[in-house]
Amino acid sequence: MQTEPTVPPALVIFDCDGVLVDSEPLSLACLTAGLNRIGVPIDQETVRARFAGTSMPSIMAHIAADYGIAAPPGFVEAVKAETLRIFDAELRAMRGAAAAIPALGLPICVASSSDPVRLRHSLTLTGLLPLFSGNVFSSVQVPRGKPHPDLFLFAAERMGAAPAACLVIEDSVPGVTAARAAGMRVAGFTGGGHWGHDPAGADLLRAGAARIFSDFTDLAAVISGA
């Protein structure tokens, strides 16, 4: 395991889905149901393992390549709309996030694979958007989404932080991979509802996360290197 410096990071970058909001069980269920409707023989666990933390354009490209099924017109928009409807009824902020994040006293931002509409909807709905003072970045702002490093490098540049001085909080293998490719430290978060299969975060550790935590009450200790 990599030894991390004890100095505080210059910037903490949070993923959104599965880190700030417990959205993944909801969105993965919507996506799986939608894919099944167009004839893709895939279950929710496979969708989680392959696509959690990945943008919709990348997901649909993989579906076309692996299953030979192209999304019909309006499919992506319909899945997104259904996901937002379910969010309105069921989405919650991750327990403890609203208190732990501002208590850090460090520069923070969000960097997410979600499109800007879903991203801001989720953060507004859960009351977390004001914590980030408008510093919310989406994969649509860069040429390549996660697992490529573009989004994290873009966020660091916009926030005026050197990549090596950034710490990323991520819950997915593509996200951890992207952060490590950007030259950033990573802490893996497994407190979301989709991590019941592996709370120890073995997949995230293999991808390059330096440590794993599952409760926002531990956030300050994780960031301090304790």
From-to residues of CATH 3.40.50.1000 in the chain: 11-23+92-224
> Rounded to the nearest 10 degrees, what angle do helices 75-90 and 56-67 cross at?
130
For the domain with range 25-90, which CATH number is right: 1.10.3720.10, 3.90.1710.10, 3.40.50.1450, 1.10.150.240?
1.10.150.240
Does the pLDDT value for residue 122 go beyond 90? yes
Does the pLDDT value for residue 102 go beyond 50? yes
pLDDT band at 53 (very low <50, low <70, confident <90, very high): confident
- Are 187 and 167 in contact, with CB atoms under 8 Å apart? yes
Give the CATH fold of the 11-23+92-224 domain.
Rossmann fold (3.40.50)
* Predicted model pTM: 0.85
Within 72-185, residue ranges assigned H as helices are 75-90, 97-100, 116-125, 150-159, 173-181
* pLDDT single digits (tens) 54-69: 788 889 999 999 999 9
Give the model's pLDDT for residue 168.
98
* pLDDT single digits (tens) 131-169: 999 999 999 999 999 999 999 999 999 999 999 999 999
Of residues 57 and 43, more confidence is placed in 43
Task: Tell me the average pLDDT of the chain.
Answer: 92
Give the model's pLDDT for residue 197.
64
